[in-house]
């Protein structure tokens, strides 16, 4: 019997009795949850936002298996199991939408429905990184005959343990596998699948799967079972529920050890970083040679950019109205950025590099090699590339709201609410934690500043402009002999003065950006204080005098924020700017501090 959970945050383990699993259905419900809190905003606007959120997510699921969407006051998330076809994925999603509309009061502020094949969730706050209930949701499959053998239980436990360990190390947090069970001369098979939502960190994915794995032991030795939390899904069965073509080879991820082990190996064999850069340089020369021999109008053949689109120069020129000044949305030392409207209506950002100097070539090389491998919701996404002659073009996702600096001290200053500001702070922190600790090599951005933080239409922050980024192995400090690169006012003293480069340089810059977000002031604004001379010095002086709140942007409504919460976030920002660099927290620690702070603020309201 299916149990429906309708209230609060307390979730009990559910058991479901079925007559075997021969006829597997991906639309079998594991959880139904409708909130019981009334919508506190205009109902018609809210319902319109819900409909738009559903529509946006369905559009995304037509090409990928994970979707997030945001419309006014409404956050949405949906995910299909990766072994489902697009048709089955959309069918599961549509079933979820239908059931939510049928079972949930439309005047309530959210719902969370989970099925074997997919899940659908929406609500009025950002739940993208939530990973746990108070207890996992458990569904066991029983049949009328005897339970499976002891051998089956042992093999199933081993497979579930392995797939739970491998999944956080796989790019899209998804895996499906099977193993044979040989018992008294008979052979059977156990099938298993695991998945995490793509908005959480590998460590959160691992922790979530550990909990549902422990929960799922309750079902064994029965022939099947599923255990889920908001952040992950784990299932096994003695009947196949995915095609062999969807099987993932998990052996390399099991034998490879943990992410931290891999990073340690990279730290020991520091030469791997040098080798990586040499390979990047070779790829660069190959790219240039291909451009030289290309016929007029030919596209750039960059097979190294796996998963990206090769655009024709002609199409991108047409999309930007011949790189019109009216379409220019940004500029830098070696590249200009234009808004582009493609023939199919898609809006993109086109970064145009003119390679007339070795410095420009170096910046382009860095950006291509690094960002083509990065996949995180708080890092700008490279869609593709194109080129002609000395002009090379990178095509990025278009950020509707432009750069953060415009909302702090530019033409849109004062329009960011406190909630949007803290969400932006947390998003930047998560993006940097990914670059420093979760990517397979540590990436130091070197130029974190408000103008390099872009905002999408839901004000989700994206770290952009990797032209100055550098690779390094974990815990390695580099002495930079070349000229300092970065932006004064944001750059850590040990790097600006002595050339010492570690990921803590980005941590310092992050702290400065947080102070700008809180105050609405530029870090080097001469009007801040004639005595302090800079935003950082001004913030430290206010902190020492216990006048934290004097730093808060005067355009903010005091009723929007909790005073103690603001103080603690200012304190976190100042922690990030401490000297020496070793006293600064790692960005993963910053994420934990901010997340704890925001949960505390939420409870206080």
Contacts of 506 (CB under 8 A, 6+ apart): 432, 435, 436, 444, 445, 446, 448, 587
Q: Name residue 310's beta-bridge partners.
A: 385
- Please, what's the largest Cα pairwise distance for the chain? 86
Q: In terms of DSSP H, where are the helices of 11-73?
A: 43-61
Distance, C-alpha 377 to centroid of its chain? 3
Q: Is 447 a catalytic residue?
A: yes
- Taking the C-alpha atoms of residue 10 and residue 195, their distance in angstroms, rounded to an integer, is 23
Of 457, 318, 303, 317, the C-alpha closest to 387 is 317
- Taking the C-alpha atoms of residue 268 and residue 531, their distance in angstroms, rounded to an integer, is 47
For the beta sheet containing 347-354, the strands, ordered from the edge strand earlier in sequence to the opposite edge, are 309-310, 382-388, 391-397, 347-354, 335-341, 328-331
Q: In terms of DSSP H, where are the helices of 313-352?
A: 313-319
Kindly report the three-state secondary structure assignment for every residue of 507-532.
Answer: HHHHHHHHHHHHHCCCCCCCCCCCCC
Q: Which two tokens stand for residue 299?
A: 């596209």
| Length of the chain counted residue by residue | 605
Report the 10 Å Cβ neighbour count for 71.
21
Question: Is residue 96 within 8 Å of 115, Cβ to Cβ?
Answer: yes
Residue 481 vs residues 15, 68, 495, 500, 505: alpha-carbon distances, Å: 64, 44, 11, 9, 16
Kindly report the three-state secondary structure assignment for every residue of 94-158.
Answer: HHHHHHHHHHCCCCECEEEEEECCEEEEEECCCCCCCCCCCCCEEEEECCCCCCCCHHHHHHHHH
Q: Which two tokens stand for residue 562?
A: 């909790």
Q: Phi, psi (5° rounding) for residue 137?
A: -85, 125
Of 336, 338, 334, the C-alpha closest to 355 is 334
Q: Name residue 312's beta-bridge partners.
A: none
Contacts of 471 (CB under 8 A, 6+ apart): 273, 276, 277, 370, 441, 442, 443, 444
- Taking the C-alpha atoms of residue 345 and residue 199, their distance in angstroms, rounded to an integer, is 27
Residue 200 vs residues 16, 236, 458: alpha-carbon distances, Å: 29, 23, 18
Which is the catalytic residue, given 204, 423, 447, 465? Answer: 447
Can you tell me which residue has the tokens 């050890």? 257
In our burial notation (b when 16+ CB lie closer than 10 A, e otherwise), range 239-250 reads: bebbeeebebeb
Distance, C-alpha 507 to centroid of its chain? 18
- Taking the C-alpha atoms of residue 402 and residue 452, their distance in angstroms, rounded to an integer, is 10
Q: Which two tokens stand for residue 354?
A: 């003119």
The residues assigned a catalytic role are 447
């Amino acid at each position: 019997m299916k149990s429906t959970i309708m209230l609060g945050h307390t979730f009990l383990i559910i058991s479901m009795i079925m007559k075997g699993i021969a006829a597997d259905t991906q639309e079998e419900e594991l959880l139904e949850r409708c909130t019981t809190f009334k919508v506190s905003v205009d109902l018609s606007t809210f319902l319109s936002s819900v409909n738009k959120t559903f529509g946006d997510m369905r559009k995304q699921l037509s090409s990928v298996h994970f979707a997030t969407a945001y419309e006014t006051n409404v956050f949405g998330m949906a995910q299909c199991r990766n072994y489902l076809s697009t048709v089955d994925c959309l069918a599961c999603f549509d079933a979820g939408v239908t059931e939510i509309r049928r079972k949930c009061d439309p005047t309530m502020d959210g719902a969370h429905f989970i099925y074997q094949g997919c899940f659908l969730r929406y609500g009025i706050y950002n739940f993208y990184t939530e990973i746990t209930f108070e207890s996992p949701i458990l569904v066991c499959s029983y049949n009328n005959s005897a339970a499976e053998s002891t051998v089956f239980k042992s093999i199933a436990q081993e497979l579930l343990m392995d797939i739970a360990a491998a999944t956080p190390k796989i790019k899209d947090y998804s895996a499906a596998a099977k193993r044979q069970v040989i018992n008294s001369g008979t052979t059977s098979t156990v099938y298993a699948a695991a998945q995490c939502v793509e908005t959480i960190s590998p460590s959160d994915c691992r922790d979530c799967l550990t909990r549902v794995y422990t929960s799922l032991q309750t079902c064994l030795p029965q022939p099947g079972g599923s255990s889920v939390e908001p952040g992950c899904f784990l299932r096994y069965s003695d009947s196949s529920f995915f095609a062999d073509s969807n099987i993932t080879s998990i052996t390399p991820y099991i034998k490879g050890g943990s992410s931290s082990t891999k990073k340690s190996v990279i730290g020991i064999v520091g030469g791997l970083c040098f080798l990586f850069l040499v390979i990047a340089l070779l790829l660069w020369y190959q790219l240039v040679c291909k451009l030289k021999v290309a016929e007029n109008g030919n596209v750039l053949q960059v097979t190294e950019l796996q998963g990206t689109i090769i655009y024709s120069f002609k199409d991108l020129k047409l999309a930007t109205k011949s790189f019109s000044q009216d379409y220019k949305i940004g500029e830098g030392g070696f590249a200009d950025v234009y808004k582009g409207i493609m023939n199919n209506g898609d809006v993109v950002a086109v970064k145009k590099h003119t390679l007339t100097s070795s410095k420009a070539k170096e910046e382009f090389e860095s950006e291509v090699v690094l960002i083509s491998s990065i996949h995180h919701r708080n890092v700008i996404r490279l869609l593709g590339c194109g080129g002609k002659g000395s002009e090379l073009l990178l095509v990025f996702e278009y950020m509707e709201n432009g750069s953060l600096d415009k909302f702090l001290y530019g033409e849109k200053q004062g329009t960011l609410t406190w909630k949007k500001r803290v969400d932006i702070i947390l998003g930047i922190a998560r993006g940097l934690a990914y670059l420093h600790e979760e990517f397979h090599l540590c990436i130091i951005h070197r130029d974190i500043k408000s103008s390099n933080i872009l905002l999408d239409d839901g004000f989700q922050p994206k770290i952009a402009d990797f032209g100055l980024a550098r690779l390094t192995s974990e815990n390695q400090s580099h002495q930079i002999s070349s000229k300092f690169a970065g932006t004064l006012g944001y750059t850590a003293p040990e790097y600006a003065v002595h050339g010492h480069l570690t990921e803590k340089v980005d941590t310092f810059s992050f702290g400065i950006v947080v102070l700008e977000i809180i105050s609405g002031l530029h870090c080097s604004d001469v009007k801040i204080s004639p005595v302090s001379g800079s935003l950082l010095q001004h913030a430290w002086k206010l902190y020492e005098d216990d006048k934290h709140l004097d730093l808060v942007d005067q355009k903010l409504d005091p009723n929007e924020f909790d005073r103690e919460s603001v103080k603690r976030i200012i304190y976190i920002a100042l922690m990030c700017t401490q000297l020496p660099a070793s006293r600064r927290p790692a960005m993963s620690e910053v994420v934990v501090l901010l997340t704890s702070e925001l949960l505390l603020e939420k409870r206080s309201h």
